[in-house]
Amino acid sequence: MTGAGEVCGKTVNVEGRTLSVFLGIPYAESTAGERRWKPPVPKAPWPGRLQATRFGNICPQNLDTSALPPQSEDCLSVNVWTPDLQPQSESLPVLVYIYGGAFETGASAVPIYDGAYLAARHGVVVVSFNYRVGALGFLAGIGDLQGNYGFLDQQLALRWINQNIGAFGGNPNRVTLMGESAGAASVGLHLLSAPASQPLFQQAVMLSNPLGLPYKNLGQARRVGLAYLNATNCRLVRDPVACLRQRPVEAILKGEESRLLSLSVLSEGLANFLTWSPVVDGSVIQQQPLEVAREGGFTKPTVIGTNTDESILFIVGLSKGPVSLLAYSALFNILMGDVGPTIANRYAPRLLRDYREPLEAFVNDYLFYCPNLALARNARAPVYTFRFTHAPSVSLWPGVERCKGRACHGDELPFIFNTLRLRGITNPGEQTLAREMSEYLGQFVKGQPLRGVGGLAWPAFTPNSNPHLRFDIPTQVFQPQNPNCAFLDEIGYQRTD
C-alpha cells in the first residue's frame, strides 16, 4: 500500500532468492498541457488495486526508443525491487538509481539498469524512476519559466521514496543515491547544491560525473531559450510559453534538433556543453557544486568513480578523420576562452597530424577525473574513489570504433548492475569483475567494511595518499598520478566566465 493506493506487483527468482518487483508506479500526475513546464504534482489517490507489473511510459525524447515502453508526457513513475515484504522484518537499506543521458535522453526501463541482481544478492531495496529530459525538463529563462523541472521530478521521486518505501521493506533513513553521467551530475546537485534534497538520502555514489562543467545561470539559460523559441516558431507571439504549451510534443522535440539551437550553444563556452541541464536559480539549486564543497558542504559518505576513456563519446562526432590543428585550437578558444591557448599548448606542445588524442585527454581530465579528485579532497565525510580501466569484451557502444579495447563512458554499468548477460558477456573473468563491483557497492549501501569478494580492502580517500580501486582483471588498489590535475586546478572548474 502506497500513499496513493494499493499496488500489485510480481515475483521473480534471482540468485536463489524470491523478489517482489513493482514497475511503473506513478509518483506524479501527467505533465502534459497546462502542467508542461511546471513543478510535478503528486499523484492523486487511485481507486482499487494498481497493476504494477510493467515499466511505465518513458518521457519524450529524441532517441529511438522502440524497444522500450511508449513515450508520453504522462511518464513520472518509480520501480521497486525488494527481497523482503514480510511484516515484522527489519527494514532494509535502499539504493536509488538516477539514469544518465546528457539530460536529453534516458529511461529507467533500460534493461541494463535492472535492479534484480543487486536486490537479491545484497538484500537491499533497489529503486529507479523516470524524470523529464530535454526542453520539457530544463527549458528556463522564458517568461516565468525557472527551469529545473526534471530535477524537481527527481526531488518528488525522492520524497515518494521517503514516504512510501517502508511499505516495500525499505528503510527511509538508509538511502543511498546513485547515478551515472547526467544521473551522477544530478546526484552531485542533490548532495551539494539543493538544500531541499538533503534530508532525503544519507549516502551517494557518483559514476562518471562530468563535474568540470558549469551549470548555467538564468541569463545563460534564457539565451538558449530564445533560440529554442525561434526553432519552434513561438518567439514572435504575445505569450511564448502559452504557444509552447499548445505545440504537440513532436514539435517540441523537433525544436531540440534545430540548427538555430545548435548555433546558440557556441556563445557560452562550457556552460552550453550540455544544451539542456539544471540551472543555478538561487532557489532549487543554489550554487555550483564545487563551490559548496570548498565551503565545507560535502558531508555525506560517497563513492566517486570515473572510467579511463570517458571522453571518446564526447569527441567522436567532431570529425570522422583526423582532428586538425585549426579545429583543435578553435575548440579550446570556444570552450575555455582566454585560457584556451595555454591549455591547448600543454596537451599538444608540438605539431601533430591528428589532435584527437590530446583533445580526448583534456576532456577526460577536465570534465571527469581532475574535478572529481578536487571534490574528494574537500570532503568532510568518508569518500571512496575508483577507476574503471577494464575494456569490456562487448562494448556498450558497438558502433563507436574507438571504444573497442577501451573503457568508455558507461561501460561500467553492466558490471555495476551485473547485467552482463544482456550484453552477451560470458567471459569468466568479466563475470568475476561484475561480482566484485557489485559486492563493494552492496557493502557500501549496507554500511559494511568494503572488502569485496576476495577480501581486498578499499581504503578511504585521503588527499595525501590518493588511494583508488582499479576495477579491472584483477582488481587492485593503486595511486594514480596525473600531473595535469594541479595545472587544471589552478585554472579552475565550472568556469562561468
User: In this model, does residue 145 exceed pLDDT 70?
Assistant: yes
Instruction: Show which residues are catalytic.
Output: 181, 310, 409
CB-facing half-sphere around the CA of 487: CA atoms within 13 A: 15
**Among 144-148, 198-202, 395-399, which stretch is predicted with the lowest mean pLDDT?**
395-399
Among 135, 137, 168, smallest CA distance to 155 is for: 137
Nearest to 448 by CA among 187, 177, 179, 174: 174
Describe the crossing of helices 484-491 and 340-347 by its angle, rounded to 10 degrees: 180
Q: How many Cβ atoms are within 10 Å of 133's Cβ, its own excluded?
A: 29
C-alpha to C-alpha distance for 135 and 81, rounded to whole angstroms = 31
Residue 266: pLDDT above 90? Answer: no
Look at residue 88 and tell me whether its pLDDT is greater than 80: no
Query: Which residue would you say has higher pLDDT here, 402 or 496?
Result: 402
Residue 112 exposed, middle or buried by CB count within 10 Å (0-12, 13-18, 19+): middle
SS3 407: coil
- Rounded to 5 degrees, φ, ψ at 5 are 145, 180
Instruction: Supply the pLDDT for residue 271.
Output: 73
In whole angstroms, what is the distance from residue 188 CA to residue 210 CA?
10
Tell me the pLDDT tens digit for each residue of 452-463. 998 999 999 998
pLDDT of residue 260: 62
- The DSSP output letter for 257 is T
Beta strand pairing call for 10-14 and 17-26: antiparallel
Q: What residues have CB less than 8 Å from 130, skipping those under 6 apart?
A: 56, 57, 58, 59, 75, 76, 77, 107, 108, 153
What's the CATH fold of domain 6-218+274-491? Answer: Rossmann fold (3.40.50)
**246 Cβ neighbours under 8 A, 6+ residues apart:** none
* Beta-bridge partners for 97: 128, 178
First to last CA, the chain: 50
Asked if the model's pLDDT at residue 16 lies above 90, the reply is: no
In order of 14, 178, 294, 302, 349, the CA distances from 380 in angstroms are 38, 19, 10, 10, 38
Nearest one of 35, 119, 116, 31 to 72, comparing CA atoms:
31
pLDDT exceeds cutoff 90 at 386: yes
Which is more confident, 183 or 421?
Answer: 183
Query: Which single residue is written with the C-alpha cell 563519446?
Result: 313
Query: Helix H segments across 234-324?
Result: 240-246, 249-256, 259-264, 289-294, 312-315
- Predicted confidence at residue 1, as pLDDT, reads 74
**Average pLDDT, rounded, for the chain:** 93
Contacts of residue 165, Cβ cutoff 8 Å, sequence gap at least 6: 80, 94, 125, 127, 171, 172, 175
411: left (phi over 0), alpha (psi -120 to 50) or beta: alpha
- The alpha helices in 352-460, defined as continuous H runs, are 356-363, 370-377, 413-416, 428-446
Please, how many CA atoms are within 13 Å of residue 491, restricted to the half-sphere of its CB? 26
Do residues 95 and 126 lie in contact, with contact meaning Cβ atoms separated by under 8 Å? Answer: yes
Residue 424 φ/ψ, nearest 5 degrees: 75, 25
Per-residue confidence (pLDDT) for residue 262, from 0 to 100: 64
For residues 465 and 20, the model is more confident at: 20
Q: What is the percent of the chain where pLDDT is above 70?
A: 97
- Residue range 50-73, pLDDT digits in tens: 999 999 999 999 998 888 999 999
**What's the pTM?**
0.96
**Local structure of residue 17 (DSSP, 8 states):** E
Q: Are strands 17-26 and 77-82 parallel, antiparallel or unpaired?
A: antiparallel
Q: Which of the pair, 321 or 221, is modelled with greater confidence?
A: 221
pLDDT level of residue 284 (50, 70, 90 thresholds): very high
